[in-house]
Structure 1
Amino acid sequence: MPFVAVGSSLQLTTDETKGLKSLPMTTQVTAKKAIHGSITDLARLVDFISIPSPRSSRFSCLVPIFHATLKSVQVPNYINPKTIPAIKRAELAVMGLVKICTVASSASDGGDNAVTNYIVRRWDETYPWMQFFARNCLPPPYDVSVAPPRPDLCNVFDAAKLCITPLYLICTQSEEGRHLLRSSVSVQHFVAQLWILIGNLRGDVLQGDPGTTTDDLVSKLRASFALTNQVCVSESEDPDKIALPLSNYIHAAGGVKPIVFTLLRYIRRITRDAAAVEKPRSWTPSDQSVQQLHLYTVGLHYSFQFLQTISRQDVSCRARLISQGSIRTVLDAITQILPRILVQANKEMDFHPQLGLAHRQNVLWSGYSYIASAIRDADDGVTGVCQAIDAGLIQTLSMGVVCPPHANGRDHPTRGRMGDIELLLLLPTFFIYHRVVDSIARHWFRMQVAGLEKPEVRDQCLWSALQLIVTSTLEAIKHRSVEPINFHEYRCSGPGCPMCTSKFVSKKRRCSGCLVSIYCSEKCQRSAWRNGHKKWCRVLRCTVGPWGSRDIRTSLQVIAGFETSEISGMAQDVEMHVREAQQQFPAFSDRLVLVLDLSVWPPEIHVLPVHKLEQFPGEDLIWPEIADEIRARSDSPPKGYMFSVVKIRLGKSKVTLFSPSTALHMAFEGQYFSDDEAYNSVDEDDVDDLKVLGDQDLDYGEESLDNVDGSEDRFYEV
Structure 2
Amino acid sequence: MISATLLSQLPQDLRRLVRGVLNRSVADFEKLCDRLPGCSASELCILQPVLYMYLDPDRIPEKPTPAVTTDIELVYWSLLAIVVTLGYIDGSGADSPAGSEKRYLISSWNCVTPWLVFFHDKFIMCRANYRPIDRMSVIKIVTSLLFQVPVIGGNRDGTTGVPIIPILYRPIAELWLLALKTKDKDVVCLSVHSGAHITSFRVFGSFLVAECIRNESFVTILLDVSGVIDTVTSAALKYVKNIRLMAKDPDIASNAFKLNLLVPMFSCCVGIIATTSMHSAAMREAYILHRSIKEIFSALRVLQSLPPGGGSMVQALGSSFAYLVFLLKRADDPVSAFHQALRAHAFETMVHIGPSGHLEVQEEVEADPHKINEIFFLILFSYVLHNKILTYACKHVDAWSDNLGPIVRQDGHLWDVWSKTEQMIRSCGISRSGAEMTQWPSPSEKGWVLQVSRRLHCFIPADLSTYYQCSCGGTAEDIHLRQCAGCQVVRYCSKRCQRDSWYSHHKLSCNFLKAAVGSSTPHHVKRSLCLLAALEEGHMERKWDNIRRLVAAAQCEYPKDRERLVVELALDRNTDSVRPLRHYLFLFNGLSENEIVDCLSSSWPDPRGYLRQLFFCSVVTINDRYLSRQFLFSPRTALDMEIVPQSLSRNRQCV
TM-score (norm 2): 0.73
Whether 2:650 is the aligned partner of 1:660: answer: no
Counterpart amino acid of 2:77? R
**RMSD, matched Cα:** 5.3
Q: For 2:482 and 2:207, locate their aligned partners in 1 and report how far apart those are by CA, in whole Å.
A: 55
C-alpha displacement of 1:196:
2.5
Q: Which moved more, 1:575-584 or 1:309-318?
A: 575-584
Query: How big is each residue's C-alpha offset from its partner over 1:219-278, in whole Å with a ceiling of 9 and x where there is no partner?
Result: 5x445433422332325xxxxxxx538455333322032122111123233444455485
Tell me the equivalent position of 2:470: none
The residue correspondences of 1:590-669 to structure 2 (distance < 5 A) are: 593-596=566-569, 605=576, 610-613=581-584, 615=587, 619-625=592-598, 628=601, 634=609, 638=613, 642-650=617-625, 655-669=630-644
**Across the two proteins, how many residue pairs are aligned to each other?**
608
Distance 1:430 1:106, change over 3 A: farther
SS at 1:154 equivalent: helix
2:137 pairs with 145, 150, 154, which one?
154
Equivalence for 2:484 = 511
Is 1:299 matched up with 2:265?
yes
Partner of 2:274: 308
Question: 1:574: how far off?
Answer: 5.6
Does residue 302 of structure 2 align to residue 336 of structure 1? yes
In 1, Cα distance between equivalents of 2:7 and 2:551: 82
Q: Which amino acid aligns with 1:188?
A: Y
1:126 corresponds to: 116
For residues 96-245 of structure 1, what are the structure 2 equivalents within 5 Å?
A: 117-120=107-110, 123-132=113-122, 134-135=124-125, 153-154=136-137, 160-166=143-149, 168=151, 177-178=163-164, 180-181=165-166, 187-200=168-181, 202=183, 217-218=198-199, 221-234=201-214, 243-244=216-217
Cα 1:217–1:61 change in 2 (3 A) is closer
Question: Contact (CA 8 Å) 1:73, 1:90: kept in 2 or not?
Answer: no
**Which residue does 2:6 correspond to in 1?**
21
User: Partner amino acid for 2:333?
Assistant: D
Contact 1:495 1:678 in 2 (8 A): no
Instruction: Please report how far the alpha carbon of residue 375 of structure 1 lies from its aligned counterpart in structure 2 after TM superposition.
Output: 2.9
Distance 1:529 1:575 in 2: 36
Instruction: Note the C-alpha offset of 1:492.
Output: 1.7
Once the two structures are superposed, residues 511-550 of structure 1 have per-residue CA deviations (whole angstroms, 9 ceiling, x without a partner) of: 3433333344566556545654343221112122348934
Question: In 2, are the aligned partners of 1:509 and 1:521 still within 8 Å (CA)?
Answer: yes
CA deviation vs aligned residue, 1:292-335 (integer Å, no higher than 9, x gap): 43333222222222222222232122112112221122012102
Tell me: CA distance 1:208–1:582, structure 2 relative to 1, closer, same or farther (3 Å): closer
Given the superposition, is the C-alpha separation of residues 365 and 102 from structure 1 closer, same or farther in structure 2, using an over 3 Å criterion?
farther
Structure 2 match to 1:265: 238
Flag the structure with more relative contact order, 1 or 2, with Cα contacts below 8 A and sequence separation at least 6: 1
Structure 2 letter corresponding to 1:561: A
- Structure 2 unaligned residues grouped into runs of 5+: 443-447, 467-474
For the structure 1 residues 304 and 110, does the alpha-carbon distance in structure 2 shift closer, same or farther, using more than 3 Å as the test?
farther
Label 1:565 to 1:485 Cα distance change in 2 as closer, same or farther (>3 A): closer
Is 1:65 aligned with 2:51? yes
The alpha-carbon distance between structure 1 residues 675 and 365, as it changes in their structure 2 partners (threshold 3 A), is: same
Cα shift readout 1:635-665 (whole Å, capped 9, x = no counterpart): 6885567421333424688753212122113
CA contact (8 A) 2:263 2:316 kept: yes
Distance across 2 between alignment mates of 1:668 and 1:50: 90
1-side partners of 2:543 and 2:102: how far apart? 57
Q: Partner amino acid for 2:205?
A: F
- 1:552 aligns with 525
Work out whether residues 227 and 302 of structure 1, in 8 Å CA contact, stay in contact via their aligned partners in 2: yes
- Which whole-Å CA distance do the structure 1 matches of 2:282 and 2:552 have between them? 47
Q: Secondary structure at the match of 1:646?
A: strand
Residue in 1 aligned with 2:445? none
Amino acid at match of 1:457: P
How far 1:338 moved relative to its partner? 0.5
Amino acid at match of 1:230: A
Aligned to 1:485, which of 440, 446, 466? 440
Give me the whole-angstrom Cα distance separating, in 2, the residues matched to 1:602 and 1:397.
24
Distance 2:203 2:557 in 1: 58
Report the secondary structure of 1:234's partner residue: coil
Deviation at 1:356, TM superposition (A): 9.5
Once the two structures are superposed, what CA deviation does each residue of 1:443-489 show, in whole Å capped at 9, x if it has no partner? x36x756x651387344357666666654444454455432734946
- CA–CA distance in structure 1, aligned partners of residues 141 and 282 of structure 2: 36
The 3 A distance-change label for structure 1 pair 188 and 410 is closer
Secondary structure in 2 matching 1:379: coil
Map residues 670-709 of structure 1 onto 2, 5 A cutoff: 670-672=645-647, 675=650, 677=652
Q: How does 1:349-498 map to 2 (within 5 A)?
A: 359-397=312-350, 400=352, 404-408=354-358, 415=368, 418-439=371-392, 444=395, 452-454=401-403, 457-460=406-409, 470-481=422-433, 482-483=436-437, 485-486=440-441, 488=448, 490-492=450-452, 497=457
Task: Judge conservation of contact 1:596–1:647 (CA < 8 Å) in 2.
Answer: no
**Residue identity matched to 1:371:** L
Separation of aligned partners in 1, 2:121 and 2:261 = 26
SS state at 1:563 partner: helix
Contact kept in structure 2, 1:277 and 1:293, CA below 8 Å: no
Q: Deviations over 1:394-419 (max 9, x none)?
A: 34345x1xx54134499997636644
Query: Percent identity of the aligned residues?
Result: 16
Q: Output the CA distance in 2 between the equivalents of 1:558 and 1:50.
A: 76
Deviation at 1:491, TM superposition (A): 3.6
Give the conservation status (yes or no) of the 8 Å contact 2:487–2:511: yes
Residue 406 of structure 1 aligns to which amino acid in structure 2?
Answer: S
Question: In structure 2, the residue corresponding to 1:669 is in which secondary structure?
Answer: helix
Q: 1:217 corresponds to which letter in structure 2?
A: I
SS in 2 for 1:251: helix
**Aligned counterpart for 2:77 among listed residues 54, 72, 89:** 89
State how far apart, in whole Å, the 2-side matches of 1:479 and 1:70 are: 76
- Partners of 1:271 and 1:216 in 2: CA distance: 21
Q: How many Å separate the matches in 2 of 1:60 and 1:597? A: 75
User: How far has the Cα of 1:587 moved from its partner?
Assistant: 7.4
2:472 alignment partner in structure 1:
none
Q: Given the superposition, is the C-alpha separation of residues 122 and 582 from structure 1 closer, same or farther in structure 2, using an over 3 Å criterion? A: farther
1:15-64 deviation per Cα after TM superposition (whole angstroms, max 9, x unaligned):
xx34983996449846555444422454268648995x9xx9x9498256
Conserved in 2, the CA contact under 8 Å of 1:528 and 1:678?
no
- Measured in 2, the distance between the counterparts of 1:606 and 1:97 equals 74
Asked whether the equivalents of residues 440 and 530 of structure 2 are also in contact (C-alpha less than 8 Å), the reply is yes
Q: Which residue of 2 aligns with 1:714?
A: none
Matches within 5 A, 1:17-56: 17-18=2-3, 21=6, 25-26=10-11, 29=15, 32=19, 34-36=21-23, 37=25, 38-40=28-30, 42-43=32-33, 47=37, 51=41
Encode CA deviations 1:546-570: one digit per residue, 9 max, x unaligned.
4893433232102222333445555
SS at structure 2 position matched to 1:645? strand
Over 3 Å counting, the alpha-carbon distance change for 1:649 and 1:41 in structure 2 is same
